[in-house]
Chain A
């Protein structure tokens, strides 16, 4: 009875819209097999995509109360965290989500690199993926300023200063980004517009092409580019599983685990809102967000222009990777040079980020107190006398 009715509705719709074509198409796409070598590492792209959706949802909720002006931004975020029902949750999901998204995006790119996923015929997938990387980092950079606290204000100040070192156009670039000499109301509004209007649409456009290309070409095989790729039928014969439900479920599991760990972080280590931004009071040891830390630190060791041009060249090399790395081999073991260079690059970045993290801090190591200068280099500043632990009288001082 119900089946008859739904059939009827379906036919009625189909007569008018030819919806069956679409359904047929979707069905074919969904059941298209994926190669059997797909392991858990292949779900990082999907995790990233899930985070984009989560960012969109939590972002919309934040936008209801957020007011983008230097006078109100900080207060509105505080209001969201303290007064709005579940506002704290939305903000935590959004800020943690941003960090998780970038982390998984980086993991995804690393996965693609080591599996040679960018090689012929997937160069375009790589290019669009790279565009997504740029857009996502821009999301992070612009979003960081929006709460308008000390950290975000000064982090953005040093971040935009890097751009100023670009040869010839540096000064103009700086003014363009800041909308003036210093970070101000004007900067905030243009970052806001980028963050909630331009970047989301750019992301949607890029990710659509990225995904269509992946569906169209399938996930890259393990064999080199000199071996013809398998058709779907051959894939199934070789043990490939349908995309749905097998692979989708694998990804669902990963997504659930990642979400669970994010909730854990939110309830035990919520990200704070710091003091309100104060343009006249530079805090010590200003640093950008962790994902910019390695390049920020690298630039400290190099003369400005050389550093900027150098990192520009590195970025260009990554962008054009599929066009100069044209060896046929895909699996890591069969291209030792690329693999070791990749590992070296990752280790270098982690080391630089760590140096950046400890720079301009103090630490006690085996009874000696060290100060780490801006290069992250330790200087002994004396032995520590353990301060006597005395009960405190609750004094906070007087005027």
Chain B
């Protein structure tokens, strides 16, 4: 485990830096040239990481190339979830037939009836709730995960998702939607509020670990028992029980806020004290003979 070798990315950066810098000493034009090389080197490196991406990005057929752009905007790229995680195949080759090798578990387009199992490999809780829900078995897996979340541009779900006509309003009365939105708001908005407050308080230097842990516990409870259940009565029960614990978290937040205020109040007292002292000394100094 020797220094640079243990951190290949940094080691190569250093090597590159040293090389370029040596070539470019005091020669500005050359230096600018070398900046450009940095770019192409970087581009090559990231392209080399996945062959599905590099080939599909360049395909003329919109249907075949668009998924790349959409996936690049999704929550899955930063989480290192690549094409082959959903479609299977061999990402180590640039030959189409080898890449689409069924021997390497290439599935082509995932079957809409088992998409939930595909996603459920990683999103267990959501699948568990979804399958027995009115949308799952009962609804013949319609809508399925990607009907609601889209195939590739999968982002952190927003409240707005719920009211997008494509998602719910096609099949549901506005009245049910209003109930559903009101319920999720009651369940989830306090958590958002706690987390925002915690960030604010943390930046003021007061510890908020307890608040954050409790908020995460509440969020997990919601995901586990209310999210993707799609049965209003079950959701009401969960939200009601969560509302039992929110007051205690809210109190935690208040205590932390008070601590911030106290620190600031005492801080200002000392600032005032110092300023007054400085003023007094200044006046006294002016009154000294020969000032």
Residues of A within 8 A of B (CB): 81-82, 88, 92, 161, 181-182, 241, 245-246, 249-250, 252-253, 256-257, 259-260, 263-264, 266-268, 270, 272, 279-280, 282, 300-304, 306, 373-375, 377, 379, 390-399
Taken together as a complex, chains A and B put the C-alpha atoms of A312 and B158 apart, in Å, by 56
Instruction: Please classify how large the interface on chain B is, using the bins under 10, 10 to 19, 20 to 34, 35 or more.
Output: 35 or more
Contact of A392 among B7, B124, B158 (CB under 8 A): B158
CB neighbours (8 Å) of B189 from chain A are 394
Taken together as a complex, chains A and B put the C-alpha atoms of A199 and B207 apart, in Å, by 32
Contact of B205 among A88, A393, A397, A398 (CB under 8 A): A88
Residue of B nearest to A306 (CB): B25
Q: Contact at A373–B192, with CB atoms within 8 Å?
A: no
- Does residue B3 face the partner (Cβ distance < 8 Å to A)? yes
How far in angstroms is the closest Cβ of chain A from B121? 11
Contact of B18 among A88, A181, A249, A304 (CB under 8 A): A304
CB neighbours (8 Å) of B22 from chain A are 303
- Does residue B6 face the partner (Cβ distance < 8 Å to A)? yes
Residue of A nearest to B24 (CB): A301
Besides A82-B209, A393-B192, A394-B195, 16 other A-B contacts (C-beta < 8 A): A249-B281, A252-B278, A253-B281, A260-B270, A264-B271, A267-B263, A268-B204, A282-B9, A300-B21, A301-B21, A301-B31, A390-B160, A392-B158, A392-B159, A393-B158, A393-B184
Q: Contact at B21–A259, with CB atoms within 8 Å?
A: no
Q: Which of B60-68, B133-141, B283-291 touches A?
A: B283-291
Residues of B within 8 A of A (CB): 1-3, 6-7, 9-10, 13-14, 17-18, 21-22, 24-25, 31, 35, 38-39, 75, 122-126, 156-160, 184, 188-189, 191-192, 195, 202-207, 209, 215-216, 219, 223, 263-264, 267-268, 270-271, 274-275, 277-278, 281-282, 284-285, 288, 290-291
27 contacts between A and B (CB under 8 A): A249-B281, A249-B285, A250-B285, A253-B282, A256-B274, A256-B275, A256-B281, A257-B275, A257-B278, A260-B270, A260-B271, A267-B267, A268-B264, A282-B9, A300-B17, A301-B24, A303-B22, A373-B38, A374-B13, A390-B159, A392-B156, A393-B159, A394-B188, A395-B156, A395-B219, A396-B219, A399-B124
How far in angstroms is the closest Cβ of chain B from A283? 11
How far in angstroms is the closest Cβ of chain B from A251? 10
Q: Contact at A245–B288, with CB atoms within 8 Å?
A: yes
Contact of B25 among A252, A260, A302 (CB under 8 A): A302
CB neighbours (8 Å) of A88 from chain B are 205-206
Contact of B158 among A181, A253, A391 (CB under 8 A): A391
Taken together as a complex, chains A and B put the C-alpha atoms of A377 and B37 apart, in Å, by 13
Residue of B nearest to A157 (CB): B3
CB neighbours (8 Å) of B205 from chain A are 81, 88, 92, 266, 270, 272
Residue of A nearest to B275 (CB): A260
CB neighbours (8 Å) of B122 from chain A are 398-399
Residue of B nearest to A236 (CB): B290
CB neighbours (8 Å) of B281 from chain A are 249, 252-253, 256
Q: Contact at A398–B160, with CB atoms within 8 Å?
A: no
Taken together as a complex, chains A and B put the C-alpha atoms of A398 and B216 apart, in Å, by 11
Residue of B nearest to A375 (CB): B35
Taken together as a complex, chains A and B put the C-alpha atoms of A303 and B21 apart, in Å, by 5
Q: Contact at A256–B156, with CB atoms within 8 Å?
A: no
Contact of B207 among A82, A246, A304 (CB under 8 A): A82
Contact of A391 among B159, B203, B216 (CB under 8 A): B159
How far in angstroms is the closest Cβ of chain A from B161? 8
How far in angstroms is the closest Cβ of chain A from B169? 17
Residue of B nearest to A269 (CB): B203
Taken together as a complex, chains A and B put the C-alpha atoms of A182 and B5 apart, in Å, by 11
How far in angstroms is the closest Cβ of chain B from A25? 24
Q: Contact at A393–B156, with CB atoms within 8 Å?
A: yes
CB neighbours (8 Å) of A393 from chain B are 156-159, 184, 188, 192
> Which among B209, B278, B284 has the highest number of chain A CB atoms within 10 Å?
B278
Taken together as a complex, chains A and B put the C-alpha atoms of A281 and B39 apart, in Å, by 24
Q: Contact at B1–A181, with CB atoms within 8 Å?
A: yes
How far in angstroms is the closest Cβ of chain A from B127? 10
Taken together as a complex, chains A and B put the C-alpha atoms of A17 and B3 apart, in Å, by 60
Q: Contact at A302–B21, with CB atoms within 8 Å?
A: yes
How far in angstroms is the closest Cβ of chain B from A108? 20
Give 10 nearest A-B pairs by CB, closest first. A270-B205, A267-B267, A390-B158, A303-B22, A394-B192, A394-B191, A256-B278, A82-B207, A260-B274, A256-B274
Residue of B nearest to A247 (CB): B285
CB neighbours (8 Å) of B126 from chain A are 398
Residue of A nearest to B22 (CB): A303
Q: Contact at B6–A182, with CB atoms within 8 Å?
A: yes
Taken together as a complex, chains A and B put the C-alpha atoms of A43 and B284 apart, in Å, by 18
Q: Contact at A266–B158, with CB atoms within 8 Å?
A: no
How far in angstroms is the closest Cβ of chain A from B233? 21
Q: Contact at B288–A267, with CB atoms within 8 Å?
A: no
How far in angstroms is the closest Cβ of chain B from A279? 8
